[in-house]
């Protein structure tokens, strides 16, 4: 149902999904299949926006037989995650991901191996997101593209009842009255120039916090991705075969395993760091153009052969995109502590599956597929049990209705000040409780609570 009120497009649905990336599209499809009417809003164009659209995402993809395979994977993940992850959640995620990806065959052309067996684990990001857009369209989900959400609607009993935002191309505002809302807005890299993350600015955290939701695991935001200097090409698979050198040409020793961030950051604090990919096996080199088709483009532009030549590298912060933190989950259906509000993908904490270290691309992708569906189904069930949309008031504060006296703020210097505390290696990668006290005091807005300060930071990052 819709009606126009002045310049506001007003719509009603059972479930509203905010965010049209990997988690948001899976959430919308699941809610619709549960029988709910669904509206999805995206600040960009659903099917091309979000970090998945720039990637070659793999998934945590382990067969159910023999059972020891999944049991071993869960034990290993628990060991590396410092025991913060939950084996039952990990088992659920492995099962749901295994069941879900083959259902996309109608819209996605899965590749096959030399024996003709379809390969479901690794997908081509741009085609993956196009397939998911076709899926939600086929199910009758109403999609509002180029329609950023700005604030949630909340009833007097504390439950959410929709959202408001703007229509960037059509003009005017929109309001969706809904019985439940799924936040699938992605994480935030604090505008670190991470590839594909420019629209992942933490706005979902802000909206949910204004409704009373808690954040969890935000201390685990120290993940950085290696990339060539002067480039945002943060496709990290090939760097598993990298050899790193300091300015004098000496090899920088790396520990065994995937954790290279800390030794690289230590070296970069001392001087420039270079690398080559000469150790890459020939079969992997042959697959790179298919797995990550844009990976080689900067090197070709610069006349560099990364398999022979050394090139300078840097680290781009991933914040909560490939970090851990996000909205706290309180139920198996990915409900937050606010009635009627659900979270999925990078907008939600991934501690339950990843533990205290980054889930990387494969675990995080599996989490987005699974949590998206659980959140969508949970939202639909909430509406069935509690009724559909009813009146709620808009609750946006930061940038919309600030409690303190309004004053003009130059966002450029403000953003630079925040990034200077959130992105440097010495302050973030090597953080400690004592070190965090200084930026907290520096960034706190005078006369405002810590929570309000966090909301302001989310609004500008």
- 41-89, pLDDT tens digit by residue? 999 999 998 888 888 888 999 999 999 999 999 999 998 888 889 999 9
Contacts with 187 (C-beta within 8 Å, 6 or more apart), sequence order: 200, 202, 318, 319, 320, 321, 322, 323, 325, 326, 346, 347
User: Can you give the pTM of this predicted structure?
Assistant: 0.90
- Please give the pLDDT value at position 345: 96
- With contact defined as beta carbons under 8 Å apart, do 19 and 187 qualify? no
**More confident position, 218 or 107:** 107
Residue 208's nearest CA partner among 361, 326, 311 is 326
Phi and psi at residue 456, to the nearest 5°: -60, -45
Judged on CB neighbours under 10 Å (0-12, 13-18, 19+), 98 is buried
- Please give the pLDDT value at position 225: 87
- With contact defined as beta carbons under 8 Å apart, do 370 and 184 qualify? no
List, for residues 241-265, the tens digit of each pLDDT value: 999 999 999 999 988 766 788 899 9
Contacts with 376 (C-beta within 8 Å, 6 or more apart), sequence order: 15, 17, 26, 27, 28, 29, 30, 31, 32, 34, 38, 182, 342, 344
List, for residues 10-21, the tens digit of each pLDDT value: 999 999 999 999
- With contact defined as beta carbons under 8 Å apart, do 417 and 370 qualify? no
**More confident position, 38 or 317:** 38
- Please give the pLDDT value at position 258: 65
Is the pLDDT assigned to residue 276 strictly greater than 80?
A: yes
- Please give the pLDDT value at position 444: 64
Is the pLDDT assigned to residue 456 strictly greater than 80?
A: no
User: What's the mean pLDDT when you consider all of the chain?
Assistant: 88
- Looking at the chain, the whole-number percentage of residues with pLDDT higher than 90 is 61
Contacts with 460 (C-beta within 8 Å, 6 or more apart), sequence order: 411, 414, 415, 418
**427 beta partners:** none
pLDDT band (50, 70, 90) for residue 458: very low
List, for residues 368-401, the tens digit of each pLDDT value: 999 999 999 999 999 999 987 678 999 998 778 8
362: left (phi over 0), alpha (psi -120 to 50) or beta: alpha
**More confident position, 317 or 18:** 18
- Please give the pLDDT value at position 235: 78
List, for residues 207-244, the tens digit of each pLDDT value: 999 999 999 988 888 888 899 998 888 778 889 899 99
Is the pLDDT assigned to residue 450 strictly greater than 60?
A: no
* Alpha helices, DSSP H, located in 101-149: 125-138
- Looking at the chain, the whole-number percentage of residues with pLDDT higher than 70 is 92
Helix 450-460, helix 203-211: angle, nearest 10: 150
Is the pLDDT assigned to residue 449 strictly greater than 50?
A: no
- With contact defined as beta carbons under 8 Å apart, do 415 and 460 qualify? yes
Distances (CA, A) of 110 to 95, 106, 413: 19, 10, 46
pLDDT band (50, 70, 90) for residue 336: very high
- Please give the pLDDT value at position 155: 95
**355 beta partners:** none
Distance of alpha carbon 194 from alpha carbon 315, whole angstroms: 9
- Please give the pLDDT value at position 400: 83
Give the CA count within 13 Å in the CB-facing half-sphere of 148. Answer: 10
List, for residues 399-433, the tens digit of each pLDDT value: 788 777 666 777 788 788 888 888 888 888 887 77
- Please give the pLDDT value at position 460: 41
């Amino acid at each position: 149902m819709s009606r126009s009120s002045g310049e506001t497009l007003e719509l009603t649905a059972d479930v509203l999904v905010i965010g049209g990336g990997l988690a948001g599209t899976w959430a919308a499809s699941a809610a619709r299949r549960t029988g709910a009417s669904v509206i999805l809003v995206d600040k960009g164009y659903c099917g091309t926006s979000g970090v998945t659209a720039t990637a070659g995402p793999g998934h945590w993809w382990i067969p159910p037989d023999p059972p020891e395979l999944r049991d071993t994977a869960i034990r290993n993940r628990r060991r590396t995650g410092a025991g913060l992850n939950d084996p039952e959640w990990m088992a659920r995620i492995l099962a749901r991901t295994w069941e879900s990806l083959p259902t996309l065959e109608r819209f996605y052309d899965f590749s096959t191996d030399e024996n003709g067996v379809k390969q479901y684990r690794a997908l081509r990001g741009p085609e993956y997101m196009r397939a998911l857009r076709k899926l939600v369209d086929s199910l009758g989900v109403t999609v509002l593209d180029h329609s950023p959400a700005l604030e949630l609607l909340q009833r007097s009993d504390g439950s959410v009842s929709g959202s408001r935002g703007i229509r960037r191309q059509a003009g005017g505002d929109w309001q969706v009255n809904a019985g439940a809302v799924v936040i699938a807005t992605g994480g935030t890299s604090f505008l670190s120039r991470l590839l594909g993350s420019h629209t992942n600015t933490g706005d979902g955290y802000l909206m949910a916090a204004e409704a009373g939701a808690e954040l969890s695991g935000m201390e685990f935001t120290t993940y950085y991705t290696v990339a060539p200097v002067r480039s945002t090409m943060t496709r990290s698979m090939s760097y598993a075969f990298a050899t790193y050198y300091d300015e004098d040409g000496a090899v920088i020793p790396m520990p065994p395993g995937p954790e290279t961030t800390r030794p690289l950051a230590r070296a970069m604090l001392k001087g420039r760091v270079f690398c080559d990919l000469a150790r890459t096996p020939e079969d992997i080199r042959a697959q790179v153009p298919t797995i990550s088709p844009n990976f080689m483009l900067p090197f070709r532009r610069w006349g560099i052969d990364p398999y022979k030549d050394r090139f300078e590298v840097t680290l781009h912060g991933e914040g909560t995109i490939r970090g851990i933190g996000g909205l706290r989950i309180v139920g198996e259906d990915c409900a937050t502590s606010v009635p009627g509000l659900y979270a999925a993908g990078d907008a939600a904490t991934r501690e339950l599956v990843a533990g205290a270290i980054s889930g990387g691309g494969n675990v995080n992708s599996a989490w987005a597929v699974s949590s998206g569906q659980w959140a969508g189904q949970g939202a639909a069930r909430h509406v069935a049990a509690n009724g559909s949309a009813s009146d709620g008031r808009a609750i946006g504060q930061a940038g919309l209705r600030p409690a303190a006296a309004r004053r003009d703020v130059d966002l450029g210097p403000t953003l630079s000040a925040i990034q200077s505390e959130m992105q440097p290696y010495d302050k973030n990668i090597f953080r400690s409780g004592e070190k965090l006290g200084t930026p907290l005091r520096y960034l706190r807005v005078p006369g405002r609570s810590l929570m309000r300060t966090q909301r302001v930071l989310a609004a500008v990052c």
